[in-house]
């Protein structure tokens, strides 16, 4: 499919790309049956990329490397010109909290905290994101309202009491609050009905465009790809080795 949009990368004024992977290799410790190799992958600042791929081919694994949650065995991951390998583990966690809004495939909400507390949590680790929000509570409720969640549910319930689709929308609001430069979304609409998917994509696109944020979204649903700058299958950028076991 389409090549990286170099005009967009150059239009960023020679500044480093939002994401740049080079000669990446990764295997899960103790597992010989799966290996991911990415010779090169670049995403320009402000670019919106839609990533498809068969189940088990390594999309979530790739996102975890881009977010610095896992480290590659070889090669480099650069986000906004910073090589993640050059950061200490605590510095990498701070970097992720500040620069990257992540919607995890399994949401990773704190089950006993309220949705509101979950949404506000990243701001406590990210002073720049916090500074961009005048009234965190009001901003959290604006985001959840746009996603069709009632205020009393957001402030009064525990995250674990929410339906899966409601939890997914809380995870989306948590990723968007405070305008991180990069939004990484792993199957963020998998539990949503068509109307909610539309509302989520509207919010995602509006926020990303207003903030000039870069967007990398994984989905199995190719019908959602229309509003993205680039659509690619993982197999176009990566070689996945899958053996028995």
Ligand X SMILES: Nc1ncnc2c1ncn2[C@@H]1O[C@H](COP(=O)(O)OP(=O)(O)OP(=O)(O)O)[C@@H](O)[C@H]1O
Q: How many CB atoms lie within 10 A of CB 120?
A: 21
Q: How far apart are CA 163 and CA 92, in angstroms?
A: 32
60 lies in the site for Mg ion, by CB under 5 A: yes
57 lies in the site for ligand X, by CB under 6 A: yes
Q: How many CB atoms lie within 10 A of CB 210?
A: 9
53 lies in the site for ligand X, by CB under 6 A: yes
The answer to whether residues 159 and 114 touch, using CB atoms and an 8 Å cutoff, is: yes
Mark residues 90-119: x for contact with Mg ion by CB under 5 A, - for none: ---------------x--------------
CB closer to ligand X, 2 vs 106 = 106
Mark residues 96-115: x for contact with ligand X by CB under 6 A, - for none: ---------x----------
Residues 167-226 that bind ligand X (CB under 6 A): none
Q: Find, among 244, 243, 242, 234, the residue nearest to 38 by Cα.
A: 234
- The one among 1, 3, 14, 55 contacting ligand X by CB under 6 A: 55
**Shortest reach from residue 56's CB to Mg ion, in Å:** 8
Say which entry of ligand X, Mg ion, none residue 114 contacts (CB below 5 to 8 A, set by partner kind): none
Q: How far apart are CA 194 and CA 205, in angstroms?
A: 16
28 lies in the site for ligand X, by CB under 6 A: yes
CB closer to ligand X, 65 vs 149 = 65
Residue of closest CB approach to Mg ion: 60
The answer to whether residues 32 and 245 touch, using CB atoms and an 8 Å cutoff, is: yes
25: which strand partners?
37, 74
CB closer to Mg ion, 70 vs 211 = 70
Q: How many CB atoms lie within 10 A of CB 85?
A: 13
With the CA atoms of 107, 210, 65 and 39 taken in that order, what torsion angle do they form, in degrees rounded to the nearest 10? Answer: 140
Say which entry of Mg ion, ligand X, none residue 55 contacts (CB below 5 to 8 A, set by partner kind): ligand X
Q: How far apart are CA 120 and CA 107, in angstroms?
A: 15
167 lies in the site for Mg ion, by CB under 5 A: no
Residues contacting Mg ion: total by CB under 5 A: 3
The answer to whether residues 150 and 204 touch, using CB atoms and an 8 Å cutoff, is: no
Give the interface with ligand X as residue ranges (CB under 6 A): 28, 31, 34, 53, 55-61, 105
């Amino acid at each position: 499919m389409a090549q990286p949009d170099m005009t967009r990368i150059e239009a960023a004024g020679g500044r480093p790309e939002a994401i740049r992977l080079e000669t990446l290799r990764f295997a899960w410790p103790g597992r010989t049956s799966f290996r991911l190799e990415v010779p090169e992958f670049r995403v320009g600042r402000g670019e919106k990329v839609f990533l498809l791929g068969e189940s088990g081919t390594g999309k979530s694994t790739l996102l975890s490397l881009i977010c610095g949650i896992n480290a590659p065995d070889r090669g480099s991951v650069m986000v906004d010109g910073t090589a993640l390998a050059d950061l200490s583990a605590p510095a990498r966690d701070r970097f992720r909290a500040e620069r990257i809004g992540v919607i995890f495939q399994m949401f990773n909400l704190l089950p006993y905290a309220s949705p509101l507390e979950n949404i506000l949590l990243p701001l406590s680790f990210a002073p720049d994101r916090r500074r961009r929000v005048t009234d965190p509570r009001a901003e959290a409720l604006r985001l959840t309202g746009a996603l069709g969640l009632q205020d009393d549910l957001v402030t009064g319930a525990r995250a674990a009491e929410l339906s899966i689709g409601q939890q997914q929308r809380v995870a989306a609001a948590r990723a968007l609050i405070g305008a991180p430069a990069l939004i990484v979304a792993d199957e963020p609409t998998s539990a949503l009905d068509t109307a909610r998917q539309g509302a989520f994509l509207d919010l995602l696109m509006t926020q990303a465009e207003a903030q000039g944020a870069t967007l990398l979204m994984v989905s199995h649903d190719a019908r959602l790809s229309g509003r993205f700058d680039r659509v690619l299958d993982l197999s176009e950028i990566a070689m996945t080795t899958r053996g028995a076991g």
